[in-house]
Structures are given as C-alpha cells and as structure tokens.
C-alpha cells in the first residue's frame, strides 16, 4: 500500500491509460480469423504445451520466446483463438507503460501523451491483437533504448542489467534485433567520440576534424581501454565515458551472435559454405567471437562483464535449448542458425515491396505521430540541440533506413517505426507546450493564433487516427481492404471449421477429414482442426485418403476438378475463400517518375479517403465437400463476403 501511495498522479494516469489499452487489446480478441503465420505459431505452441513433440527452435518462425509464452498460456487457460493472442495483447499493454522510463525528460504531459500514442497507434493496436512476435520485439526495443538513455544519465548498473535483459529477450524473439543493435552501436560510437573530445576540451573546427579521425576507431579504443593506457595518456583521455560502457555491453553480447556473418566475405570470394565446411566454420567462428567478447569484457570490468553476460546467457540458453532438452541443437540455432537463415532470406525479398513502401504506409497509419515527430526532429535537434530528441530521432531514422534497405518489407514491420515516432511526437508536444507557457504574456497574437491552430489540428489528427485504428482493428480485421492487413485468412475458414467440428461430434470415428495441402492450404487448417483426426495429402492422394466412407474434403478447385469421383460421391460442396489479400499491383508498378509527377500521391490520397471495395480483393478459393445429407447448424450460415476477383 505504501508503494501505491507514493505513485505520482502522472503514473496513475499512465496506468489508467494502460488499463484502457488492455481492454482495447482483449475486446473481441478472437473475432478475427487466425492468420497463416498465427496458425503456425499457435499450432507449434500447442504441440509444445502437450510435449508432443517438444518444441525445437526453428528460425523460420523466429525466436523461442513467443512459443514459450503461448504454451504457458495454453497450459493455464486452454487453447483457442483468444488465448493464442493473449501474450501479444499483454505485452502490447506493457508497451504503453514504457514512457514512464523517460518521464524525467518528457515531463508529465509528454509521458501521458506517449502512453496515449502507444495505446492508440493503428499499427501497434492491430498487431497487439495478432499472434506474431513484433509486439514482443517492440517492448524489448523500448526497454533497450530506455536502458541506454538512463545509463548515460546516471551511470547506475541496474540500467546495464536492463540492457542485458532487453538484448537477451530481443535475440530470443526476432532477428530485427540485429538492426536495433547496429543502430545503437553507431549511436554509442558517435556519442563516445564526442565525449572523448570533451575530455580533451576540443572545440571549433578542430573538433570536427579530430572527430572525423577518431570516430572509426573510438569503439576499438573503448574495447581495449585498459591495454591502451600509454596511448590514452598522450591523447589526454582520462576515463572511459559511460557511452563506452554501453558500447562494450552491447558489443560483447552481440558479437557472438554474428558468427554466421563470417560466411559473407567467404561467399564474396567464391567459397561455397555448406556441409562440413559450414559445420567447421560455425564452430570456429562462434569460438573465436565468444573468446573475443570475453577478452574485451575482462579488459573492461570483470565484475560487470560477469553480470551482463550472466544475465544474457541465463535467458537465451534455456530458451533456445527448450530448458536444456535440446542443448546442442539449441545452441547451434542460437549462435549460428538464426542469422544464417535470415541472411539467406534477404535475397528472397519476401513481400516484393517497392523502395517507397514505408513512405506510403507511415502517412496512412501513423500520421498522428509522424507530423509532430517530423517537426520535432527539425526544431528540437537542429535548432535546440535537444539530447533526448536527438536520441529518438536517431532511433526513428535509423530504423526507417534499415527496414527500407532490408529485403523483406511487410506491414507488421510498421510496428518498429511507430514506436520511436510515438516517443518523439510526445516529446515535441511537451517541449512546445513548455515553450508557449514560458513565453506567457510575451507571446504575440500571431503566435497565440498559431498555437491554437496547432492544437486544433492535433485534435483533428487524433480523431482521424482513432477512426483509422477502430476501422482496421474492429471494423474489418480479417478483410484486407487496406494494406495493413496484407494477406489474411478469410472469415469463411473458422465458419467451416465449426461445421466440421459439429459434424465430427455427430459421426466421430466414422468421419474421415482430408485436407489438400497444395499451395500451403494446410494452414491454418492445422490449427483449426488440431484436435480432430486429419489427413493432409497432396492433390494426387486426396481421393485415396478419403476412402469410401463418410468424408469431409477441403481442397483447391483444381484438385476437385481433377477428381470428378469426389464430387460424384460427396456432392457439389461449398466454395469458400481460403485466404485473400490486398491488391498491391498498382503501387508496385509505380516508378520514380510517378512519384515526382504526383500521380502516386493522387492515388494515395484517394485510397486514404475510401480504402477499396471488397470486390477488388485478390483471393485463393477452395471447396469444402461434405457427406451427402449432411446437416449442421451452420451449413450455409454465417457471414458471406462478396466474392472477390481472383
């Protein structure tokens, strides 16, 4: 009770916002059809919860954290669409509380607004109700950046411990952590360079020249600080700045995770890395990088190195090895497999999105924070040299450039862009409010009018953002009439799944259920039919698998057409949309000339106003064949979406 009594009014307001955010994330959490990726995550978590088979990390589905979290929820609360999404909803709610870590610099108004922006962001809200790992990664990223900022401020070791926790959970969640670490390492190296120049008292043009010389080597000087004492004395570097501690902490924990990157220079030289060559290279690379990290840690501070490394590996190793039940395979996957897989995937360029993808997506969904954050990046960084604004701007721009350069561009990655924008926008509004109040009576009429107009615009933007968030999250969450939804399972699938469960309850062992697994159509059926005996067969074996008795067959139209005996025995069946997607062909074909001449902008404005009609959605159709004379409460019932163009 004493602890609760000491909480400030701002803290209580943020907690209240988080409670509202929790309700928004849990409300009708199971109303949306389970997406293809969600079904993979949920099904393998269900296997894990049942220990049949025990979970083993596979980089195809990113890190192990999500599977442990979902399996734990299944164990306690049972397995269904709702509980599959509960971990994401809870972590998405926790994310709303993270502005409290920056309250000292963002003030009461900025902290509250930061919580509001994180709670109401269309992309953060939508994907906080989605069984993917991006919200997990967003929370760890917020903690990592907060730890870096707080340690720079007060130098307390608890922030290094939080940094180690955030990094460990990040590496065990999603490979986007490599981009996060790169952004932070560059930032720490840059600020370390400035801090070292401050120790020498370098100013003016000399500061610029010496900074350019020192920047490429500042990280090496920090890494071997104890070994460079004579050199440091000549250069008048008296002590290692806190930025050096951060650089070393991030570096020694990240370095061994980069082992698979040693393939890149070998591949550039024409060396084929596979089989025995890859096995020996992985052992050698991991050993050398772990040893290098150990040497740097000991030169830095043995006690602190033991603390941060102990925390990091106490989290990652049990997660990747599934509680040490898959020790060798888990370690290999941790130190080599994860990065190895995703290096290869960059050439695949899944999504095939154009270079301007996030230029298009951010104004569609994150306009409420994008506009003040852009203003703040110019006003606070360029004109006021605001340290926190500089840090947040580095985070936002670095993430934008990294994701734009990466081969895979997907709508759920918007989560990682929305996060720093929310913090920067809240800080900008806080600083503007402070500036207006400080001017007081000296504020001219024109400035008063401008401030009032800015407030009105902000309210209008907020209203538009709320409408966007509500529409995409609750209005049509599994009907992709806008690009945030991307490729989505149709509402037909859970409806037909209910029919099959009802029919199985009537017929039990007399019923055979066959799913045509062509074109990945076995997902999300593997989740929806997880507790029924199902045969997954390729197109050629569907009829054979169905046998001669009562059967339910879920197959693609081409499969049914090639097997007329199925239709003759089971009847005409029911056509349904298996999955459908937002049509992207228009903007994908856009050229730089289209952008320059404004044609793409015109199309963007038109879409922002009206989205697209459901008839324009692309889709993959399938057919459900039931035994003759089948009657269930839901055959032919349920919402029947207008048939989209295939």
In this predicted structure, the answer to whether residue 444 has a pLDDT above a threshold of 90 is no
Which pLDDT tens digit goes with each residue over 224-248?
888 878 888 888 888 899 999 999 9
Per-residue confidence at 430, pLDDT binned at 50, 70, 90?
very high
In this predicted structure, the answer to whether residue 1 has a pLDDT above a threshold of 60 is no
Per-residue confidence at 350, pLDDT binned at 50, 70, 90?
low
Over residues 6-31, mean pLDDT: 95
Q: What is the pLDDT of residue 347?
A: 65
Q: What is the pLDDT of residue 124?
A: 98
Q: What is the pLDDT of residue 556?
A: 92
What percent of the chain shows pLDDT beyond 70?
91
Same domain for 204 and 330, yes or no, is yes
In the chain, count H helices and then E strands.
31, 6
- CA gap 162, 308 in Å, rounded: 9
* Residue that finishes a domain, picked among 359, 381, 405: 405
pTM of the model: 0.93
User: Per residue, what are the HEC states of 425-437?
Assistant: HHHHHHHHHHHHH
Same domain for 395 and 498, yes or no, is no
Same domain for 175 and 312, yes or no, is yes
Q: What is the pLDDT of residue 200?
A: 86
Which pLDDT tens digit goes with each residue over 192-206?
999 999 998 888 888
Over residues 551-574, mean pLDDT: 83
Residue 643 maps to a domain: no
The number of folded domains in the chain is 2
In this predicted structure, the answer to whether residue 331 has a pLDDT above a threshold of 90 is yes
- CA gap 119, 560 in Å, rounded: 46
Distances (CA, A) of 450 to 61, 432, 439, 443: 50, 12, 14, 11
Phi, psi of 516 (to 5 degrees): -75, 120
Same domain for 541 and 401, yes or no, is no
Per-residue confidence at 620, pLDDT binned at 50, 70, 90?
very high
Encoding tokens for residue 385?
A: 């040299």
Per-residue confidence at 600, pLDDT binned at 50, 70, 90?
low
In this predicted structure, the answer to whether residue 223 has a pLDDT above a threshold of 60 is yes
Encoding tokens for residue 313?
A: 């590996």
Over residues 117-130, mean pLDDT: 97
Residue 202 maps to a domain: yes
Which pLDDT tens digit goes with each residue over 467-483?
999 999 999 999 999 99
The rounded Cα 337 to chain-centroid distance in angstroms is 20
Top pLDDT among 336 and 447 is at 336
Over residues 339-366, mean pLDDT: 81
> Which DSSP helix (H) or strand (E) runs through 261?
none
Per-residue confidence at 631, pLDDT binned at 50, 70, 90?
low
Per-residue confidence at 52, pLDDT binned at 50, 70, 90?
confident
What percent of the chain shows pLDDT beyond 90?
65
Considering 48-62, 75-89, 321-335, the range whose residues carry the highest mean pLDDT is 75-89
Residue 373 sits in which domain range? 2-405
Same domain for 67 and 168, yes or no, is yes
- CA gap 111, 97 in Å, rounded: 9
Which of 303-312, 466-475, 530-539, 593-602 bottoms out in mean pLDDT, i.e. has the lowest? 593-602
* Residue that finishes a domain, picked among 405, 439, 460: 405
Over residues 156-161, mean pLDDT: 97
In this predicted structure, the answer to whether residue 302 has a pLDDT above a threshold of 50 is yes
Q: What is the pLDDT of residue 635?
A: 44
Q: What is the pLDDT of residue 498?
A: 94
Same domain for 50 and 172, yes or no, is yes
Which of 157-166, 346-355, 380-389 bottoms out in mean pLDDT, i.e. has the lowest? 346-355
In this predicted structure, the answer to whether residue 637 has a pLDDT above a threshold of 60 is no
Top pLDDT among 85 and 437 is at 85
Q: What is the pLDDT of residue 507?
A: 79
Q: What is the pLDDT of residue 609?
A: 66
Mean pLDDT score of the chain: 89
Same domain for 399 and 274, yes or no, is yes
Residue 464 maps to a domain: no
In this predicted structure, the answer to whether residue 497 has a pLDDT above a threshold of 60 is yes
User: What torsion do the CA atoms of 628, 630, 635, 636 make, to the nearest 10 degrees?
Assistant: 40
Residue 362 maps to a domain: yes
Q: What is the pLDDT of residue 216?
A: 94
Per-residue confidence at 270, pLDDT binned at 50, 70, 90?
confident
Which of 458-467, 519-528, 588-597 bottoms out in mean pLDDT, i.e. has the lowest? 588-597
Per-residue confidence at 585, pLDDT binned at 50, 70, 90?
confident
Encoding tokens for residue 257?
A: 């995770």
Same domain for 218 and 331, yes or no, is yes
Q: What is the pLDDT of residue 540?
A: 84
Residue 441 maps to a domain: no
Over residues 555-563, mean pLDDT: 88
DSSP 311-324: HHHHHHHHHHTTTT
Alpha helices (H) along 301-413:
302-320, 327-332, 338-348, 357-365, 367-376, 387-405
Same domain for 381 and 495, yes or no, is no
Residue 549 maps to a domain: yes
CB atoms within 10 A of CB 530: 16
In this predicted structure, the answer to whether residue 101 has a pLDDT above a threshold of 50 is yes
Residue 270 maps to a domain: yes
Same domain for 399 and 534, yes or no, is no
Same domain for 389 and 515, yes or no, is no
Q: What is the pLDDT of residue 610?
A: 66
Per-residue confidence at 346, pLDDT binned at 50, 70, 90?
low
Residue 547 maps to a domain: yes
Q: What is the pLDDT of residue 506?
A: 85
Q: What is the pLDDT of residue 636?
A: 41
Do 369 and 424 form a contact (C-beta atoms < 8 A)?
yes
Distances (CA, A) of 177 to 2, 65, 185, 573: 38, 13, 12, 47
Distances (CA, A) of 237 to 161, 192, 320, 442: 26, 11, 41, 46
Q: What residues form DSSP beta bridges with 581?
A: 487, 618
Per-residue confidence at 250, pLDDT binned at 50, 70, 90?
very high
* Residue that finishes a domain, picked among 405, 430, 464: 405
Q: What is the pLDDT of residue 277?
A: 85
């Amino acid at each position: 009770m004493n602890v609760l009594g000491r909480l400030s009014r701002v803290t209580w307001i943020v907690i209240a916002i988080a409670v509202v955010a929790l309700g928004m994330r849990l409300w009708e959490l199971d109303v949306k059809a389970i997406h293809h990726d969600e079904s993979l995550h949920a099904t393998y978590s269900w296997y894990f919860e049942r220990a049949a088979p025990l979970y083993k990390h596979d980089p195809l589905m990113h890190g192990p954290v999500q599977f442990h979290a979902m399996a734990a929820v299944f164990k306690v609360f049972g397995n269904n669409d709702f509980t599959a999404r509960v971990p994401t909803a809870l972590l998405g709610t926790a994310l709303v509380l993270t502005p409290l870590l920056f309250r000292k610099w963002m003030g009461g108004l900025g902290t509250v607004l930061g919580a509001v922006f994180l709670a109401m962001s269309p992309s953060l809200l939508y994907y906080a109700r989605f069984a993917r790992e991006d919200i997990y990664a967003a929370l760890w990223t917020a903690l990592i950046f907060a730890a870096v900022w707080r340690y720079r401020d007060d130098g307390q070791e608890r922030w290094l411990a939080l940094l180690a926790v955030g990094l460990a959970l990040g590496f065990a969640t999603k490979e986007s952590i490599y981009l996060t670490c790169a952004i932070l390492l560059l930032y720490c190296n840059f600020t370390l360079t400035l801090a070292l120049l401050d120790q020498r008292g370098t100013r003016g043009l000399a500061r610029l020249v010496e900074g350019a010389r020192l920047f490429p080597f500042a990280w090496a000087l920090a890494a071997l600080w104890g070994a460079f004492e004579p050199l440091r004395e000549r250069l008048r570097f008296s002590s290692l700045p806190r930025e050096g501690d951060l650089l070393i902490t991030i570096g020694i924990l990240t370095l061994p995770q980069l082992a698979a990157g040693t393939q890149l220079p070998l591949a550039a030289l024409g060396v084929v890395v596979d089989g025995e060559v890859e096995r020996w290279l992985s052992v050698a690379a991991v050993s050398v990088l772990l040893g290098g990290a150990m040497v740097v840690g000991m030169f830095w501070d043995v006690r602190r190195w033991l603390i941060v490394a102990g925390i990091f590996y106490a989290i990652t190793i049990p997660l990747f090895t599934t509680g040490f039940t898959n020790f060798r395979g888990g370690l290999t996957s941790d130190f080599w497999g994860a990065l190895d897989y995703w290096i290869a995937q960059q050439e695949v360029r899944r999504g095939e999105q154009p270079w301007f993808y996030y230029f298009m997506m951010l104004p569609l969904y994150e306009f409420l924070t994008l506009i003040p954050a852009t203003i703040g990046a110019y006003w606070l960084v360029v004109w006021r040299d605001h340290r926190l604004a500089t840090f947040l701007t580095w985070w936002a721009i670095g993430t934008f450039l990294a994701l734009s350069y990466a081969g895979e561009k997907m709508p759920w990655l918007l989560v990682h862009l929305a996060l720093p924008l929310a913090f920067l926008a809240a800080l900008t509004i806080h600083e503007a409010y402070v500036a207006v109040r400080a001017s007081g009576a000296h504020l001219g009429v024109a400035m008063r009018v401008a401030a009032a107009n800015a407030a009105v615009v902000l309210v209008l933007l907020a209203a538009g953002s709320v409408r966007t968030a509500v529409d995409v999250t609750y209005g049509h969450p599994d009907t992709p009439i806008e690009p945030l939804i991307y490729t989505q399972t149709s509402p037909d699938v859970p409806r037909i799944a209910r029919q099959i469960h009802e029919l199985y309850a009537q017929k039990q062992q007399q019923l055979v259920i066959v799913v045509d697994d062509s074109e990945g159509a076995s997902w999300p059926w593997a989740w929806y039919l997880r507790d029924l005996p199902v045969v997954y067969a390729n197109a050629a074996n569907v009829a054979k698998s169905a046998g001669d008795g009562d059967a339910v067959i879920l197959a693609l139209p081409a499969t049914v057409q090639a097997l007329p005996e199925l239709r003759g025995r089971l009847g005409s069946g029911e056509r349904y949309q298996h999955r459908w997607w937002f049509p992207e062909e228009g903007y994908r074909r856009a050229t730089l000339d289209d952008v320059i001449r404004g044609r793409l902008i015109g199309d963007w404005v038109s879409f922002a106003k009206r989205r697209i009609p459901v008839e324009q959605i692309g889709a993959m159709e399938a057919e459900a064949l039931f035994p003759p004379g089948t009657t269930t409460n839901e055959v032919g019932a349920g919402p029947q979406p207008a048939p989209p163009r295939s």
